[in-house]
Amino acid sequence: MGQGPRIGVTWLPAAEAAAHRCVRAVEAAGGEPVPLLVESPSWTAEIETLRGLLLTGGNAVDPRRYGEENHGLCRLVVPRRDELEQEALDYCAARGLPVLGVCRGMQFLNVALGGSMLQDLTITTVEHEAAGGVSRFHSVDVIADTTLARLVGAAGPLRVNSRHHQGLRREHLAPGMRPTAVAPDGVVEGIEAADGRFLIGIQFHPEYEGEVPEAVPIFARLVARAA
C-alpha cells in the first residue's frame, strides 16, 4: 500500500471494502486502492487525492438520471452513491485521469456521460443475470481496433461471466462513446471513449478470479495510465 497511484474504488458497505474483489484487483495491479464509501463524510477530500477511478458493480443506477421513472425493476437505488460516483467521475474526467467501470460501473459511466439504459433485460436470448449468486457465462464479440481487443489479445469471440439484469444497447450509448464488445442478443458489454481518453466500461467481471482471465490486464492498464 502507498507505493502505486491512488485509484478510487467505489463501493457501499465499509465492512466489506477492504476485501472487495476490485480492491484486491487494483492492489495486484500495483495501485493503491482508495475505497470511496457512501458512509464517509469526507469523500470530496478523498477524491482530490486520486489518480484514477474504478466504478464497481452493485445496486441499480437511479433511472431519474436518464430521464425515466423507476418501473419497479430497479430493485435497489442509492441516490447518495450516484452522487458520489458522479463527483468522482467529474473530477477525474476534467483532469484526464483514467476511469474504468465494471458492470453497474459501466452503466453508470454511460449514464453520467449522457446515455441511457434498459431497466431490465426482459426479452433476450442470452441469460445475463446470476443464478443463485453464481455467474452466468456467454460469449461476446470483441470489436477490432479497440482498447479491449488489444488488452485481451484479439478481436472476436470472448467468453465472459455475467451477473446483471440491466444493460444497454447501441442506441443507449452516450455521445462520444463507442461499443467495444457486444453479446449475441445485442446487449453492449464494453464501451470506451471514441477520442482515446481512458473512459472504459465492461459489463463483465474480470475481478472474479479465473472467470475471465483474458481481461484481467485491464486493471494493470488502469493503474499504468494513472501513474
pLDDT by residue for the chain (227 residues), tens only, comes to 457 999 999 986 777 777 789 999 999 999 999 999 888 888 889 999 999 999 998 888 888 998 988 877 777 788 889 999 999 999 999 999 999 999 999 999 999 999 999 887 765 655 656 556 666 778 899 999 999 999 999 889 988 887 767 888 899 999 999 999 999 888 899 999 999 999 999 989 999 889 899 999 999 999 999 99
Predicted structure pTM score: 0.91
- 1 within domain boundaries: no
128 vs 107: CA distance, rounded Å: 14
Q: What DSSP element (H or E) covers 157? A: strand 156-162
CB-based contact 165:128 (threshold 8 Å) = yes
Residue 77 lies in domain = 6-226
The amino acid at residue 91 is Y
137: left (phi over 0), alpha (psi -120 to 50) or beta: beta
Residue 202 lies in a domain: yes
Strand ranges across the sheet with 188-193: 32-37, 6-11, 52-55, 99-102, 199-202, 188-193, 177-182, 136-142, 156-162
Three-state secondary-structure class, residue 111? helix
94 found inside a domain: yes
* Amino acid letter, residue 43: W
pLDDT for res 128:
54
**Phi, psi (rounded to 5 degrees) for 21:** -60, -40
Per-residue confidence (pLDDT) for residue 134, from 0 to 100 = 64
Residue type, 126: V
Q: Which residues pair with 192 in a beta bridge?
A: 178, 200
Helix (H, G, I), strand (E, B) or coil at 29: coil
**Residue 105: what pLDDT?**
94
CATH classification of the domain holding 159 = 3.40.50.880
Write down the H helix ranges in the chain. 14-17, 21-28, 43-47, 79-94, 104-112, 147-152, 217-226
Instruction: Report the number of distinct structural domains present in the chain.
Output: 1
Q: What angle do CA 203, 148, 10 make, to 5 degrees?
A: 45
Task: Give Cα 145 distance to the centre of its chain.
Answer: 20
pLDDT at residue 119 in the model: 83
Residue 18: predicted pLDDT = 77
The set of catalytic residues is 103, 205, 207
